[in-house]
């Protein structure tokens, strides 16, 4: 399995010999104030594993977990190295030696519940969604994902209400038993488990020709962004903003909200899928005030701490990164923080001092105020 790292020999060499020019961009390194978790050190450690200098056992495996997968470091890399991709491969190599501390519990929860928290998300789905939406023959379906189904009233219900206000009556909801895209398995280094989950997902989508993903990470995975086919060829995957934007352009709200809004860019939406400009256009169509940008925004935005499996492997690290990002957003003085990812909402909506909204909630509010 160590040959998996051989595919990244160039990236590993570049990072190993680099004078840590991206150190400041890593939210984990900034939150932990530790040289051991900088991109440079983690990549150097992976290079040592590749070359056989050290074992990929528990000590190294634990260090590899300190990556949010946010891709912020690449914004400052002359070589555009994809550090998260390499570190996920390093996790897979370590997984072959035995799971790192905290990973075994997550994998066990995935096995018995289909999500990394062990929550009864299928119960949440059936409580939140009318059976009329759970139609196997639907060709356009919403894939909520396990994160959104932890709090469907914040993420799924507003979308269904919004589509109703926009007279969209042809969209169903994916009701299959598998409601996780498999990213937690990938983050845990369980490549075999990820492939099994992908096969199960592929079979569960039936006749769907378009899938609307409420989670940007899910969208990236379902699009095959990890290099593995998840859905059948020809199945189109779109993010929520991608589906909603044309509808709002066609039928904008009668009046815009008088809102003071700062937008938090989800890493997968903005850096992986390049949807930042479109989301900002959408917010501008429902808000009457200019969007307030943080010093770290768009592709330069700092991660909320919710990626890479860190919230369930290293919850204290995830919280420290979230506090760091929340402080940046609150410094703007905005009344509301809006984001377009259920994971980001969960990470940032902690203190209750500043309203944190899902994009769907914001747009629904704009249309509801005009009814």
pLDDT in tens, 153-186: 999 999 999 999 999 999 999 998 889 999 999 9
Q: What's the full length of the chain, in residues?
A: 371
Q: Are residues 141 and 261 in the same domain?
A: no
Residue pair 31/317 in contact (Cβ under 8 Å)? The answer is yes
Mean pLDDT of 248-277: 96
* Closest listed residue to residue 311, CA positions, set 338, 346, 339: 346
The predicted model gives 138-143 an average pLDDT of: 95
**The predicted structure's pLDDT at residue 14:** 95
Lowest average pLDDT, out of 62-66, 72-76, 98-102, 125-129, goes to 98-102
Q: 185-218: per-residue pLDDT in tens?
A: 999 999 999 999 999 999 888 889 999 999 999 9
Are 92 and 69 members of one domain?
yes
- Assess whether 363 and 296 both reside in one domain: yes
pLDDT of residue 229: 80
Q: Could you say which of 45, 75, 97 is where a domain stops?
A: 97
What local confidence, expressed as pLDDT, does residue 370 receive? 62
Q: What share of the chain is helix, strand, coil (3-state, %, to 5)?
A: 55, 10, 40
CB 139 within 8 A of CB 114: no
pLDDT recorded at residue 233: 82
The reply to whether 342 and 357 lie within a common domain is: yes
Please tell me whether residues 241 and 117 are part of one structural domain.
yes
Last residue of a domain, one of 70, 97, 124: 97
The closest of 179, 175, 193 to 96, measured between CA atoms, is 193
Average pLDDT over residues 93-100: 87
The tokens describing 13, both together, are: 């060499």
Share of the chain above pLDDT 90, in %: 84
Q: Please identify, among 245, 274, 303, the residue that sits at the C-terminal boundary of a domain.
A: 245
Query: Do 120 and 150 sit in the same domain of this protein?
Result: yes
Give the pLDDT score at 350.
79
User: 228 falls in which pLDDT band (50, 70, 90)?
Assistant: confident
Same domain? For 170 and 238 the reply is: yes
The answer to whether 350 touches 329, Cβ cutoff 8 Å, is no
Confidence of residue 113 (pLDDT cuts 50, 70, 90): very high
- What's the domain count of the chain? 3
| 205 and 272 inside one domain | no
Radius of gyration of the chain (CA): 20
Separation of alpha carbons 165 and 154, rounded Å: 17
Please indicate, yes or no, whether residues 234 and 269 belong to a single structural domain of this protein: no
114 and 238 in one domain? yes
If you search the block for the tokens 């079979």, which residue do you land on?
A: 203
Domain membership of residue 231 as a residue range: 104-245
Does residue 354 carry a pLDDT above 60? yes
Confidence of residue 230 (pLDDT cuts 50, 70, 90): confident
Find all residues with CB under 8 Å of 50, minimum gap 6, and list them.
2, 5, 6, 8, 9, 12
**126 plus 241 within the same structural domain:** yes
CATH for 114: 3.40.50
Across 83-95, average pLDDT: 96
Confidence bin at 269 (pLDDT 50/70/90)? very high
Which residues, listed in sequence order, are joined to residue 163 by a DSSP beta bridge?
none
Instruction: Kindly state the percentage of the chain with pLDDT values over 70.
Output: 99
Mean local confidence (pLDDT), 282-304: 96
pLDDT at 371: 58
Q: Is the pLDDT of residue 2 over 60?
A: no
Among candidates 23, 111, 100, 110, which has minimal Cα distance to 314? Answer: 100
Give me the mean pLDDT over the 54-75 stretch.
Answer: 93
Task: Indicate if 320 and 336 belong to the same structural domain.
Answer: yes
Average pLDDT, the chain: 93
């Amino acid at each position: 399995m160590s040959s998996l790292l051989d595919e990244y020999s160039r990236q590993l060499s570049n990072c190993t010999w680099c004078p840590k020019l991206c150190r400041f961009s890593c939210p984990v390194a900034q939150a932990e104030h530790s040289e051991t978790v900088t991109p440079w050190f983690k990549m150097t450690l992976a290079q040592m594993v590749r070359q056989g200098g050290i074992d990929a056992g528990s000590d190294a495996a634990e260090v590899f977990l300190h990556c949010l997968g946010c891709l912020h470091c690449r914004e400052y890399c002359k070589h555009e190295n994809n550090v998260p991709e390499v570190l996920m491969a390093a996790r897979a190599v370590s997984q072959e030696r035995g799971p790192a501390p905290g990973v075994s519990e997550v994998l066990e929860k995935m096995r018995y519940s289909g999500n990394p928290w062990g929550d009864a998300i299928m119960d949440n789905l059936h409580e939140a969604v009318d059976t009329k939406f759970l139609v196997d023959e639907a060709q356009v379906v919403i894939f909520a994902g396990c994160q959104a189904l932890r709090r469907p009233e914040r993420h799924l219900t507003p979308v269904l209400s919004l589509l109703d206000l926009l007279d969209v009556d042809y969209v169903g909801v994916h009701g299959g038993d598998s409601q996780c895209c498999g990213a937690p398995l990938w983050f845990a280094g369980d490549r075999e488990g990820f492939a099994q989950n992908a096969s199960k997902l592929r079979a569960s989508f039936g006749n769907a020709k378009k899938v609307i993903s409420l989670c940007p990470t899910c969208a990236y995975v379902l699009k095959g962004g990890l290099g593995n086919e998840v859905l059948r060829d020809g199945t189109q995957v779109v993010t929520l903003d991608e589906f909603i934007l044309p509808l709002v352009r066609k039928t904008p709200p009668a009046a815009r909200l008088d809102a003071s809004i700062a937008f938090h860019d989800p890493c997968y939406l903005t850096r992986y899928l390049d949807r930042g400009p479109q989301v900002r256009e959408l917010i501008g169509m429902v808000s009457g005030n200019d969007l307030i940008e943080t010093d770290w925004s768009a592709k330069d935005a700092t991660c909320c701490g919710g990626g890479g499996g860190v919230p369930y492997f290293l919850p204290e690290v995830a919280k420290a990164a979230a506090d760091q990002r929340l402080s940046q957003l609150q410094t703007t003085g905005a009344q509301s923080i809006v984001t377009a990812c259920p994971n980001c909402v969960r990470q940032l909506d902690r203190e209750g001092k500043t309203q944190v909204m899902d994009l769907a909630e914001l747009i629904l509010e704009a249309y509801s105020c005009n009814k």
